[in-house]
Chains A and B, each alone.
Chain A
Amino acid sequence: MSDTHSATPILKLEGVFTNIAQYHILQGVDLSVPRGEVTMLLGRNGVGKTTTLRTIIGHWRAHKGRVLFDGEDITKLPTPAIARAGLGFVPEDMGIFGDLTVEENMTLAAVSGPIDQARLQWMFTVFPALETFWKKDAGTLSGGQKQMLSIARAMIEERALYLIDEPTKGLAPAIITTMARAIKELKDQGASILLVEQNFAVAKALGDSASVMDDGRMSWSGQMRDLTQNADLQERLMGLSIEAH
């Protein structure tokens, strides 16, 4: 583990400010995502977690500060270029194309060519439901299946970094387990992951390091286990404690 820590982080945000209309949502975000780890982005609702991810992928533009991906400045790149540099994005609303079939959604996600069959088979072992509904319109899937498709779409090609926004929101416990397993498998393949998560149990199980946001800034960064072991810290940072979960 020590050598990955010493290497440059896969993603680094330096003093990022993002305004949406007249609202200053991000007010100087500093964030570092180490290579090959799952980094949790935590915090209460409305502190700017989703905006942080959207700024990284380029849907919103940083007005100040820099976003560095693998040491390269991607702050001003258009979204497609950022994605092709090696970022996979799973948005909060899942971004499923409901008029397209599951197959078409996956075909589209394979940006560089036809779907890699070996990777697809691996996909099916993680999410068997997708094989069952392969030819169905994605719009007719259940909420959990849509979430699976959304993650599967990001996973179908190898990416250096995945940005995943609340993959377990509103899902049944059994599906949450599947999601957690998928993210774990991604990590085992060597990918880095920045994960926004409200479910603290999931965060605790998956997270290597963690950053906690408050009011458009990072209020704490460190190892996930330091956070899980310190109830006072959780209380102070997020207004909750493990005991509550």
Chain B
Amino acid sequence: MSAAPEHAPTIAQTSLRERFAPYAPGLLVLILIAAGLIAIPATSSWLTLTVSGLAMGMMIFIMASGLTLVFGLMDVINFGHGAFVSVGAFVGVSFLLVLEHMTSAPHLLWNLTALMLAILGAMTATGLMGWAFEKVIVKPVYGHHLKQILVTMGGLIVVEQLIIVLWGPEEIYITRPEALKGAITFAGAALEKYRLVAVGIGLVVFVAMRWTLRRTKIGLIVRAGVENGEMVQALGYNLRMVFIGVFVAGSALAGLGGVLWGLYQEVITAHMGNQTMILVFIVVIIGGLGSVEGCFIGALLVGLMQNYVAFLEPKAALISNIALMVAILMWRPMGMIPVVKAK
């Protein structure tokens, strides 16, 4: 054979790989689901685990999305983000306790209305708190990572302690609204109703967020700001106002995540937010700091991995996610969807 035909496939291969690269992270989710199917003996358990993995992933995404956008936009890393998750859970649960007459009846519409009211209350509270947190804690330390980490960590401690002051030091046990208890059976697999609701809410948030980022001017400003904030300002947009808006929205989403997570665990503590931050940080790192899509895919990977491994070997669950992070950083050191900064 002459040299030419040997050459041609090599070129084709490179271009194929280049074309394939943007879709690789998404495919990774499918590969993981397939691997789960192979590793887990019974298909019905696999289906149950996949749904709970997706539910968990959606909740982590909701909590992590604000964190990653805040970083992308202003290079601010908020180690106190977990505080919003805790506060959201406590406010939401307080609402649910007040609305007990609505949650205790096995009436789906009433139950969902109560849940929505609780979510609304929690998001309002954490949104306002985010606004204050940004003003008091974050603003004085712009552009200084070391101080940001220290000060936001300090903020987390204070907020956790204030939760204990207001709600007491004991963990609070809660039951899910009556109609969301139990499971439905689908193809021989038991799918918990609440997890299906969590997947639904997660999808709504993701689609709404994508729509906002793609189709609205605010979204354009945010996306452009992540890439080159200076130029956005030179066009005439006040990036600081946009940033405050994103910070507040991210805090409100963390609050939503807190309500969902609290009902998922059926117990809430002041430290729950910081505990979820372990997975949240893994997700934003493997997704690529600043990337919402990367965060979404990363959250699904982490949620699925956690559930599959916990089924196969319970003690290895958290370690498996550390291993996942290591593997992804070896593959792409800046995360799956790295955000390229103009400067």
Contact = CB atoms under 8 A, between A and B. Distances in A.
Instruction: Determine if chain A interacts with chain B.
Output: yes
Interface of A: 57-59, 78-80, 83-84, 89, 91, 93, 95, 97-100, 104-105, 107-109, 111, 153
B307 to A, nearest CB: 33
Contacts of B232: 108
B11 interface: no
Contacts of A98: 227, 340
Given A93-B342, A98-B340, A108 B227 contact: no
Nearest to B219: A104
- Central interface residue in A57, A97, A107, A109, by most chain B CB within 10 Å: A97
Nearest to B231: A95
A108 B224 contact: yes
Given A104-B220, A107-B217, A108-B220, A97 B236 contact: no
A100 B237 contact: no
B239 A95 contact: no
A91 B220 contact: no
Given A95-B230, A97-B227, A108 B235 contact: yes
Given A93-B342, A95-B228, A95-B342, A100 B234 contact: no
Nearest to A108: B220
B227 A80 contact: no
B233 A83 contact: yes
Given A93-B342, A104-B220, A111 B236 contact: yes
Contacts of A59: 230, 233-234
Contacts of B284: none
Given A107-B217, A107-B220, A80 B228 contact: no
A100 B223 contact: yes
A108 B217 contact: yes
Interface of B: 217, 220-221, 223-224, 226-228, 230-239, 340, 342
A99 B231 contact: no
Nearest to A105: B224
B233 A79 contact: yes
Contacts of B238: 78, 80
Nearest to B240: A78
Nearest to A85: B236
Contacts of B230: 59, 79, 95
A166 B215 CA distance: 33
Given A59-B230, A80-B237, 7 more contacts: A59-B233, A91-B231, A95-B230, A97-B224, A97-B228, A108-B221, A109-B235
- Central interface residue in B217, B220, B234, by most chain A CB within 10 Å: B234
A109 B227 CA distance: 15
A105 B231 CA distance: 11
Contact of A111 (B235, B340, B342): B235
Nearest to B340: A98
Contacts of A100: 220, 223-224, 227
B31 to A, nearest CB: 26
Contacts of A58: 233
A111 to B, nearest CB: 4
Contacts of B237: 80, 111
- Central interface residue in B232, B235, B237, by most chain A CB within 10 Å: B235
Given A95-B342, A97-B228, A107-B217, A80 B223 contact: no
Contacts of B340: 98
- Central interface residue in A83, A105, A108, by most chain B CB within 10 Å: A108
A99 B72 CA distance: 13
A89 B234 CA distance: 7
Q: What 6 A-B pairs are tightest by C-beta distance, nearest first?
A: A95-B231, A83-B236, A79-B233, A111-B236, A97-B224, A89-B234
Nearest to B241: A80
A71 B117 CA distance: 54
Given A95-B230, A95-B342, A97-B231, A84 B236 contact: yes
A204 B221 CA distance: 38
B220 A80 contact: no
Contacts of B231: 91, 95, 97
